[in-house]
Amino acid sequence: MADLTTRYLGLSLKNPIIVGSSGLTDSVDNIVELEKAGAGAIVIKSIFEEQILLEAESSLRKAYEDDMIYSAKAEALDYLDLHIKEDTLSNFIKMVREAKSETVIPIIASINCVSPVEWTSFAGRVEQAGADALELNIALLPSDTRMGTGEIEQIYFNIIDKVLSQVKIPVSIKISPYFSNLAQMISKLSATGIKGMVLFNRFYSPDFDIYNLTEKSANTLSTPAEMSNVLRWIAIMSGRVECDLAATTGIHDGKSVIKQILAGADAVQIVSALYMKGLDQLQLMLGELESWMDEKGFNYIQQFKGNMSQKQGTNPAAYERIQFMKYFSEIR
């Protein structure tokens, strides 16, 4: 029988399937159920840097409207801001602590961040609560025409530097593919001292309601077709980075897990597959992985991890092909 154990961020996982940050991981009860269903690790639902700031600003606006703040507003603002932050953060810390006490699999805390400001000191509290690792979902869409490429990219390094100075637990980052030179950026980020990188996060996707002329959300859940870009970049960067790689987005079945590991992923994160098919999908995916390993004669994950990466594969050029010349030339 195949051994599915693996290592990610220096942590021992009973299998390479991690349930990513989502509504599925927003309570201790849910986390316990996911462990029972077979998850190798859990990423607790992210706490948002913007969420904390917006909550403080909202309460401040209401206070102004109610004339609660007047000439001595500075002191009141400080108290209000601190109180709201402490309430939000304390609830998050409590969940980390309770999740650790109720489970044995690795628990990874998650912070969705956009700047290296005061929130970075919170990372130390996450570590003290017992989190096995910390995932930074750095959600920067390079849409500001006033900022140069270097300015935007430097934010990533500033965030990492601040957080690494606060904690000793493993830190990973979850990034998007939106960089002018993605391969170089991934390589540079991997050399900062982080232990892992998750490729790639999914941004909120806007859509239009053409009948009511309103904006709405599109593609809340991923589709299997979205896996190909992640597969490409895991395969290209495998063996060329100084940290672990995790694949996410579009991974909906056991075959997808196998492909990402063949490309070089140390682990995969899933969410949408569980929303669509239920928690039983975890066991189905693990069963498919185990059966395939038995069929191919692999006893351990490490025996085939990265075997089809660009560095080890027999056709390295295939991962850099961006046109359909070969495909269209064969159409009659």
Span 264-297, pLDDT tens digits = 999 999 999 999 999 999 999 999 999 999 999 9
Residue 107: φ, ψ to 5°: -110, 120
Span 185-197, pLDDT tens digits = 999 999 999 999 9
Q: For residue 75, what pLDDT is reported?
A: 43
Q: For residue 315, what pLDDT is reported?
A: 66
Q: What is the pTM of this model?
A: 0.86
Q: For residue 72, what pLDDT is reported?
A: 42
Alpha helix stretches (DSSP H) within the chain? 28-37, 49-65, 73-102, 122-128, 149-164, 182-190, 227-237, 254-263, 272-277, 280-296, 325-329
CATH of domain 6-329: 3.20.20.70
Residue 269: φ, ψ to 5°: -115, 135
Q: Average pLDDT for consecutive 10-residue bins of the chain (332 residues)?
A: 96 98 96 98 90 52 50 42 61 95 98 85 92 93 81 94 96 95 96 98 83 85 93 96 97 98 98 97 98 98 96 68 57 52
Residues 199/245, Cβ–Cβ less than 8 Å: yes
Q: For residue 317, what pLDDT is reported?
A: 63
Is the four-CA dihedral 129, 136, 148, 57 of positive or negative sign?
A: negative
d(C-alpha 315, C-alpha 296), whole Å: 21
